[in-house]
Amino acid sequence: MPKQHCRSRLLDVLRGCLIGSAEVVPGVSGGTVALVTGVYEQLIGAIGQLAGAARCLVVDLPRGRGTARAGRALRDIDWGLLVPVLAGMAAALVLGARLIAPFVESHPQSARALFFGLVLASLWVPYTQSGRAWRVRDFGLAAAVGAGAFVLTGLPPAQAPTHPAVVFAAGAVAICALVLPGLSGSFILLTIGLYEPTIAAVNERDFGHLAAFGAGCVVGLGLFAKALKWLLQHRRHVTLVVMTGLMAGSLRALWPWQDADRRLLTPDGSPTAEVLLALAGCALVVGVLLIEARVRARGGRASVAAGGAAAGMGQPVAARSATTAAVTEAAVVRQTAGVTEAADARKTAGVSAAAGKGGDPVH
């Protein structure tokens, strides 16, 4: 069991690394990767609980109510998932700023082709997890949302000032894109002109810039995660339809052939290399989905085996108790029947003996 637990934690770190790496690449959503790797809803739930604990602290401490409510909220968080994923994300963000971002800048066409295939294959996840079959109006809603995302991702880059208030607001908006599949936080930063300053702040340890950006992320995440958690619990189908539309519309940002102002172009030569890279991205997503399905299947079998071991002979505890009660009841019935039968036999024997002593037979 400890070995399986350790393996699960390592997988969570790997999931965090994939999510963090995606956030470094403009146009790729970390939320999309979280959805594909199977931890999206758990992360949203944990983040929502963390935001609730922070709210309890802010409300209760000034009123002298202590930290009891916040402590209960913190204990409900799945730290076994949250800590490894966040650790992987942090490591990937630092390394990605040095390794992935330069590769994307030096080979933009190839990088976009790879990630285009990755996001295209990822559309299968929200489409199949919405809980019921799509109707005509669902396709219409997804198309409308996709059109909005298509227009948004076509906006030309701007250049915003690096004032702390602006950086704070950018962090709050960008982190919402991290949580929402289909929108890329890095792409939004690139659109408003703060992508390169933020990457430079990570590489140069500009803690003033990073503090303002991180504070915005905390506020934006706390507000948006709670709303998204409620939507997934109460409006799951519509929410995943909207996510599918966002992811489809955001494919515009990953079209391999575009200029600096994000105008779409046609291939200027043979697109063989880009097509192969897109297919490799699709294959990567399919591989991740298959691994996730296998891990879930093993987890299900392990749970069943654990339940059987706890029951003793493969039965659930409740079933075993019911069986024991039935056997006991049957034994009592048999014992009662035996006593009754013995009493009847003794009574019959007594009557016969009395008759034998009682007088002559009648002639």
* 323: pLDDT strictly greater than 70: no
How far, in Å, CA of 135 to CA of 158, rounded?
39
How far, in Å, CA of 27 to CA of 154, rounded?
11
Q: Which of 68-77, 83-92, 168-177, 341-350 has the highest mean pLDDT?
A: 83-92
* Contact present, 89 and 21 (Cβ < 8 Å): no
Angle at alpha carbon of residue 292, lines to 135 and 304, rounded to 5°: 100
Q: What's the chain's Rg over C-alpha atoms?
A: 32
Q: What is the mean pLDDT of the chain?
A: 76
Two structure tokens written together for 76: 């409900």
pLDDT, position 223: 77
pLDDT, position 358: 47
109-122 per-position pLDDT tens digit: 888 888 888 888 88
Mean pLDDT, residues 50-72 taken together: 80
pTM above 0.75, yes or no: no
DSSP string, 299-318: HHHHHHHHHHHHHSSSS-HH
**Which of 153, 175, 132, 134 is closest to 247 using CA atoms?**
153
299-322 per-position pLDDT tens digit: 665 555 555 554 444 444 344 344
Type of residue at 106 = S
CB atoms within 10 A of CB 311: 15
pLDDT, position 303: 52
How far, in Å, CA of 258 to CA of 274, rounded?
13
How far, in Å, CA of 293 to CA of 85, rounded?
19
* Contact present, 101 and 226 (Cβ < 8 Å): no
Type of residue at 152 = L
Phi, psi of 132 (to 5 degrees): -155, 170
Q: Please, what is the angle between helix 207-234 and helix 164-179, to 10°?
A: 30
Mean pLDDT, residues 188-193 taken together: 76
